[in-house]
Amino acid sequence: MASRLLVHPSPPDRDGFIQHITPASADWSYVGFSALELPPGKVVTRPTDGHEVCLVILTGRVRIAVGAVDFGVLGERESVFDGSPWSVYVPAHSSWTIEAQTAAEVGVCSSPAKGTLPARIIPPSEVGEEVRGKGTNTRYVRNILPDTGLAESLLVVEVVTPGGNWSSYPPHKHDVNDPPRETYLEETYFHRLKRGSGFALQRVYTDDRSLDETMAISDKDVVLVPRGYHPVGAPHGFDLYYLNVMAGPVREWRFTMSPDHAFLTW
């Protein structure tokens, strides 16, 4: 039986969407995520309605406008593994337009908002980079829109995990709204494999095992994490990237470790 938590990509539709996750399709309340693959010259426009959006330029160069404001041509990565991205924050009750200058890939991250903040560019120089873990738990984190950044409910982060290493590990969860101990955050993982082939593994499970799924991840797959622990493993020789989108009623990332793994260093 196919997992409802694992969403495979589709060929690009007429607007270039290969992934399109909405709160309705995910059967939750906050997180939306789409991925675009655009040929040179392609133009895509969308309203934000009651959602704030973070446009993450995964690869290539694009011109981005928010409403009547043209932010110019942005982007420089040839691969998602090539350093931090350019991104654009788009408020609710606005619109965004992307015009591809080269072949390009863009992640569209969204969550509910009122529209209280202005549109802005998030350049690579403002992306906080950190090394998390040690040994075979080492991974490289790029904080595009952390809970210390300006947004209403949206959290966005990139993570690169070298082949042979674990990520989102030790297992942790954020499915109970009890701040400051733990916050309820829905989450999507958009996975990319450096070789474009092979697989990674992700398990999503709860303490009582009412949810317990282990999935083989291919390039451009999305994993939905509605609740529970959600560790990721990258096999030897296959570096893994993922783009995380999180959102919930409280814009803080507070989590609880798996009791079985509490002895490990985060």
The domains found in the chain, sorted by start residue, are 6-113+127-261 (2.60.120.10)
Q: Which strand (E) or helix (H) includes residue 147?
A: none
How do residues 34-93 score in pLDDT, each as one tens digit? 999 999 999 999 999 999 999 999 999 999 999 999 999 999 999 999 999 999 999 999
Q: Which strand (E) or helix (H) includes residue 193?
A: strand 186-193
Q: What pLDDT is stored for residue 266 in this prediction? A: 63
Q: Identity (one letter) of the amino acid at 74?
A: L
Q: For residue 12, give the nearest of 4, 22, 20, 24 by alpha carbon.
A: 20
pLDDT band at 1 (very low <50, low <70, confident <90, very high): low
Q: What pLDDT is stored for residue 264 in this prediction? A: 85
The whole-number average pLDDT for the span 167-193 is 97
Q: Which of 36-50, 166-180, 251-265 has the lowest mean pLDDT?
A: 251-265
- Main-chain phi, psi angles of 197, to 5 degrees: -140, 180
The whole-number average pLDDT for the span 187-214 is 97
Strand, helix or coil for residue 25: helix
| Residue pair 73/62 in contact by the 8 Å Cβ criterion | yes
Taking the CA atoms of residue 77, residue 161, residue 232 and residue 52 in that order, the dihedral angle to the nearest 10 degrees is -30
Q: For residue 169, give the nearest of 125, 201, 128 by alpha carbon.
A: 201
Tell me how far apart the 2 most distant CA atoms of the chain are, in Å.
Answer: 53
More confident residue, 266 or 206: 206
Mean pLDDT (the chain, rounded): 97
How do residues 133-150 score in pLDDT, each as one tens digit? 999 999 999 999 999 999
